[in-house]
C-alpha cells in the first residue's frame, strides 16, 4: 500500500540517485529504503526505479508517483500550518451568531478589534435569536452563540451540554413619547404604567420575560402592537401608539420624539451571555472574541441611554448601572 514513509523513500531516491544517500537523508538504513521501494513496486506491480551500475534513476512510473507525492506532502504541510494557526487564533474560521440588538450595539466594535488582532481568521457571522442559535451550537454549526435571558425567565439549558459565560447585564428602560405625562420622571416602575397601551415583542424570550415582569408587578399588560424590530417600535411610540420596555442595547439610537427613562432598581436587568458546548474543543479564536466582547460591552452601554441619562442626572445613571451590575467591575 501507499504510505508516507514509502513515498518519502521514493522521493529521496529520485533526488539523490542513490539508496545510500537517500538513507542518509532520511536517517534510515539502506536496507529500509530498499525495502520501501520494493514494497511499492510489489503493490503497484510496476518498476519505479532503474537500477544501474552508475546510479539509480526513477522510471516514468516512478516520476509520476513522485509528482503525486509532492502534492501529498504539500497538503500535509498545509494541514499542519492551518491547524497550528487555528490552535493559536491566527487562522482558520470562526462561526458565530448573536441576537439583533447585540448585533448592532456590540458586534461591530468587537469584530473590528478582533480583525485587527487576528486578521487571518475568517468570521462567518449570523443574526439569530437564542431559540435558533443554541440548537445550531449543539449541532456543531456554530462555534459561539451570543444569547440573552432574564432572571424571571432564564434560558432553559442542560448544563451538561451547554455552558453560559456572562458578558454583561444591561438595565431596562421605558420608551415614551416626549408628550407623555410621565416623560419628565427620572425613574419609573412597571406598576406606574399598568394602564398604558404597550408595544411588545413577538420573540418568545422577549414577550415571555416582559409578561412575567408585569405579572410580578401585579398587572396584565395591554399589548396593542407586537414587533421585534426596535426601529419599528420607536416609530409607533413616536406616533403615540403606545409605550415599550427596551433593554439598554436597544437604545443605541433613539428618535428625537422619544424619551427613555430607567426602570426602578428592583426590575431585573437583561443578561447577555456567550454560549459554548460543554466538552467540545473551544477554539482559541472564540475565546479571543469573547474576551473582546467582555471588554467592549461596558463601553457600548455608555453609548446607549445609560450614558445619555448621565448628562441629565449623573446620580441617576450611577444607580442605574449599579442596579444592573455594569459599573465597570465585570
Q: Are residues 24 and 171 both part of a single domain?
A: no
pLDDT tens figures, 244-288: 999 999 999 999 999 999 998 667 799 999 998 887 667 888 999
Judge if 8 and 140 occupy the same domain: no
CATH code of residue 136: 3.40.190.290
pTM: 0.70
11 and 127 assigned to the same domain? no
pLDDT given at position 320: 45
**16-25 own/partner pairs: CB under 8 Å, 24+ apart:** 17/55, 17/56, 17/57, 18/55, 18/56, 19/56
What is the domain extent for residue 30? Answer: 4-87
177 & 276 share domain: yes
Give the pLDDT confidence of 169-222 residue by residue, as tens digits: 999 999 999 999 999 999 999 999 999 999 988 766 678 888 999 998 999 999
- Are residues 57 and 191 both part of a single domain? no
Residue whose cell numbers read 431596562: 172
Structural domain ending residue among the three candidates 87, 113, 143: 87
Q: CATH number, domain at 61? A: 1.10.10.10
Q: How many helices (H) and strands (E) does the chain have?
A: 12, 12
Write down the mean pLDDT value for the chain.
Answer: 86
Domain C-terminal end among 87, 110, 136: 87
Give per-residue pLDDT as tens, 4-48.
889 999 999 998 999 989 898 888 899 999 999 999 999 999 999
Cβ atoms of residues 249 and 101 within 8 Å: yes
Q: Are residues 205 and 294 in the same domain?
A: yes
Residues 318 and 301 reside in one and the same domain:
yes
C-alpha span between 249 and 102 (Å, rounded) = 7
| pLDDT reading at 322 higher than 70 | no
Q: Between 77 and 196, whose confidence is greater? A: 196
State the total domains in the chain: 2
Are residues 52 and 76 located together in one domain of the fold? yes
Buried b (16+ CB within 10 A) or exposed e, 19-53: bebbbebbebeeebbbebbebbbeeeeeebbeeee
In this prediction, residues 58-78 reach a mean pLDDT of 87
Q: What is the dihedral of CA 250, 254, 255, 259, to 10 degrees?
A: 100
The answer on 64 and 28 residing in a single domain is: yes
Whether residue 78 is found in the same domain as residue 100: no
Residue 319 has pLDDT above 50, yes or no: no
The last residue of a domain, from among 55, 70, 87: 87
Task: Tell me: do 172 and 264 sit in the same domain.
Answer: yes
Please indicate, yes or no, whether residues 171 and 47 belong to a single structural domain of this protein: no
Amino acid at each position: 500500500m501507499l504510505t508516507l514513509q514509502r513515498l518519502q523513500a521514493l522521493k529521496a531516491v529520485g533526488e539523490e540517485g542513490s539508496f545510500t544517500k537517500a538513507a542518509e537523508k532520511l536517517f534510515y538504513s539502506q536496507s529500509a529504503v530498499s525495502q520501501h521501494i520494493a514494497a511499492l513496486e510489489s503493490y503497484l506491480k510496476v518498476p519505479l526505479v532503474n537500477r544501474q551500475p552508475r546510479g539509480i534513476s526513477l522510471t516514468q512510473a516512478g516520476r509520476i508517483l513522485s509528482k503525486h507525492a509532492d502534492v501529498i506532502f504539500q497538503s500535509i504541510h498545509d494541514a499542519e500550518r492551518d491547524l497550528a494557526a487555528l490552535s493559536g487564533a491566527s487562522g482558520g474560521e470562526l462561526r458565530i451568531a448573536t441576537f439583533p440588538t447585540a448585533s448592532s450595539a456590540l458586534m461591530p466594535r468587537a469584530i473590528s478589534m478582533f480583525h485587527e488582532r487576528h486578521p487571518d481568521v475568517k468570521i462567518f457571522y449570523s443574526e439569530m435569536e437564542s431559540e435558533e442559535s443554541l440548537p445550531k451550537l449543539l449541532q456543531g454549526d456554530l462555534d459561539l452563540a451570543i444569547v440573552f435571558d432574564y432572571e424571571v425567565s432564564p434560558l432553559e439549558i442542560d448544563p451538561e451540554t451547554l455552558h453560559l459565560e456572562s458578558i454583561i447585564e444591561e438595565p431596562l428602560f421605558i420608551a415614551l413619547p416626549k408628550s407623555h405625562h410621565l416623560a419628565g420622571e427620572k425613574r419609573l416602575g412597571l406598576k406606574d404604567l399598568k394602564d398604558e397601551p404597550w408595544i411588545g415583542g413577538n420573540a418568545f424570550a422577549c414577550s415571555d420575560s416582559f409578561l412575567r415582569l408585569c405579572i410580578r408587578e401585579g398587572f396584565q399588560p395591554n399589548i396593542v402592537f407586537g414587533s421585534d424590530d426596535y426601529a419599528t417600535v420607536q416609530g409607533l411610540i413616536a406616533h403615540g401608539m403606545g409605550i415599550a420596555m427596551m433593554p439598554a442595547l436597544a437604545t443605541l439610537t433613539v428618535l428625537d420624539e422619544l424619551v427613555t427613562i430607567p426602570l426602578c432598581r428592583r426590575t431585573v436587568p437583561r443578561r447577555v451571555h456567550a454560549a459554548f458546548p460543554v466538552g467540545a474543543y473551544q477554539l482559541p479564536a472564540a475565546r479571543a472574541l469573547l474576551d473582546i466582547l467582555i471588554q467592549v460591552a461596558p463601553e457600548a452601554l455608555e453609548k446607549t441611554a445609560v450614558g445619555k441619562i448621565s448628562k441629565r442626572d449623573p446620580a441617576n445613571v450611577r444607580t442605574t448601572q449599579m442596579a444592573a451590575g455594569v459599573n465597570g467591575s465585570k
